[in-house]
Amino acid sequence: MTLFGKDIACTTQLRAGRFTTGPRLVGESLYRRLTTPRGMLRGGEDEKNFGFDLLDLIGSAVTESDAAALPGRIAAEAKKDERIDEVFVNVVRTQEGPVTSFVIVIDCTTAEGPFTLQLGVDDVTVELLGLQVSE
């Protein structure tokens, strides 16, 4: 079995003293990857290519073909993490008046097990709706 190590738990805020491992660690990393604008992470070459500004992507998804491309673009970004073996993305777009919102469900498998990341996205926020890890 592959060991992914451990890191400080961090999705929407840093949780000092709380650590995460396994598929949860990979899920938290994917959440941060999807909410960090590319190039904003300090470090070397790997850090320069980290990030995928989901808010910017959602804001530019104005046509049906843009919205239809979202699952593939999100899956391609998730696959940049070598710990993720398979990824399936489902995007549901809803329109209420001038407000467009999306619910994004990302199912991933890793060598240590699967996880599901669920996000709610509109023009101004990305909300973590859930991170479920199958034990």
- Three-state SS for 79-101 is CCCCCEEEEEEEEEEEEECCEEE
Residues of the chain above pLDDT 90, percent: 41
The span from the CA of 41 to the CA of 55, in Å, is 17
Q: What pLDDT score was predicted for residue 124?
A: 83
The span from the CA of 126 to the CA of 128, in Å, is 7
What is the mean pLDDT of the segment spanning 119-132? 90
Q: Is the pLDDT of residue 41 over 80?
A: no
Q: What pLDDT score was predicted for residue 69?
A: 87
What is the mean pLDDT of the segment spanning 100-107? 93
What is the pairing mode between strands 113-121 and 14-21? unpaired
Better pLDDT: 1 or 129:
129
For the chain, the average pLDDT equals 83
Lowest mean pLDDT among 19-28, 74-83, 117-126: 19-28
Domains and CATH numbers, the chain: 6-133 (3.10.450.40)
The span from the CA of 71 to the CA of 58, in Å, is 11
